[in-house]
Amino acid sequence: MSLPIIRVHFLNESRAFRVLWLLDQLKLDYEIVPYRRDASFRAPEELKKLHPLGKSPLLEVEDRKTGKRKILAESGYIFQYVLKHFDKAKSLDNADSDKSEEIQYYLHYAEGSLQPPLIVDMLFSMDPYGTLPFPLSYIPGMVTQKIVENYSKGEIKNQLDFIEGEIAKNDGYLVGGKLSAADILMSFPIDMAFGGPYGHQFADPKQYPVIDKWLKNLKTLVSYTSAKYKAGANGAQF
């Protein structure tokens, strides 16, 4: 049975990169439909024609015979779908059901718990009050600082301490001592925390040597390099 046509609706400088990486690691053929962020770093309106939230990644799956199409949103769900339908050999899943469930956990955890404090810090790092003249910028600036101090800073540490311990327990990977979809999905928020994609560092890699080594090791994969090349050819600069 032939596989469907797979299209990744890909926004530059975004988490959509890891979907390319996942598909490359599974050696699947796919097409990329590129979109460019606007001057405010938002996705263009066209994405809303495919899904009302207008975010990327979106994965389009088209049946070659019937032409029936599905549009999938949410990175964790996209990963889960790809594993279920296109990784029959379980090369990025795990034959052990407990381990497979742990992988599922990370597919939720990445967006549900790890990403939110990073997004808070990222938005504030964009200096949202920079256009306001002093002293108007002062009060909101203080509030921002309090949110970072009382919530995101400690929360990012809490999360990274947890991940450091998990990778140490699992021989250099998140689950079961071998590469899985969890590693590829989780690489994006970790890279973001360490200053990779957006250039703002929210945690010092030196304080997390196990995670740092894990990330560097992941980036040596051929699939990473090929996905990077494709992302670059479609407008991404990281």
Ligand X SMILES: N[C@@H](CCC(=O)N[C@@H](CS)C(=O)NCC(=O)O)C(=O)O
Helix (H) or strand (E) holding 73: strand 69-73
CB of 116 to ligand X, least distance (A): 10
By the rule CB under 6 A, 231 interacts with ligand X: no
- Other beta carbons within 10 Å of 202: 22
Assigned token pair, 10: 């890909």
Query: Which lies closer to ligand X via its Cβ, residue 176 or residue 188?
Result: 188
The per-residue DSSP string of 138-161 comes to HHHHHHHHHHIIIIIHHHHHHHHH
Query: Which lies closer to ligand X via its Cβ, residue 178 or residue 228?
Result: 228
Binding range to ligand X, per CB under 6 A, among 54-62, 92-100, 137-145, 226-234:
54-62
By the rule CB under 6 A, 191 interacts with ligand X: no
- Nearest partner of 107 among 132, 135, 76, 153, judged by Cα: 76
Residue-wise over 183-194: b if at least 16 C-beta within 10 A, else e? bbbbbbbbbbbb
By the rule CB under 6 A, 15 interacts with ligand X: yes
By the rule CB under 6 A, 111 interacts with ligand X: yes
Task: Rule CB under 6 A: choose which of 12, 25, 56, 159 binds ligand X.
Answer: 56
With CB under 6 A as the rule, give the number of residues binding ligand X: 11
- Nearest partner of 172 among 131, 115, 211, 126, judged by Cα: 211
Q: Is 223 helix (H, G, I), strand (E, B) or coil?
A: helix
CB of 191 to ligand X, least distance (A): 12
CB of 97 to ligand X, least distance (A): 25
Q: Report whether 9 contacts 57 (CB < 8 A).
A: yes
By the rule CB under 6 A, 74 interacts with ligand X: yes
Backbone angles phi, psi at 58, to 5 degrees: -125, 140
By the rule CB under 6 A, 75 interacts with ligand X: yes
Task: Rule CB under 6 A: choose which of 4, 6, 10, 11 binds ligand X.
Answer: 11
Binding range to ligand X, per CB under 6 A, among 52-60, 80-88, 198-206, 212-220:
52-60
Peptide bond into 135 cis (omega under 30): yes
Binding range to ligand X, per CB under 6 A, among 49-57, 96-104, 143-151, 155-163:
49-57
User: Crossing angle for the helix pair 181-193 and 153-169, nearest 10 degrees?
Assistant: 140
CB of 210 to ligand X, least distance (A): 25
Tell me which residues touch ligand X (CB under 6 A). 11, 14-15, 42-43, 55-57, 74-75, 111
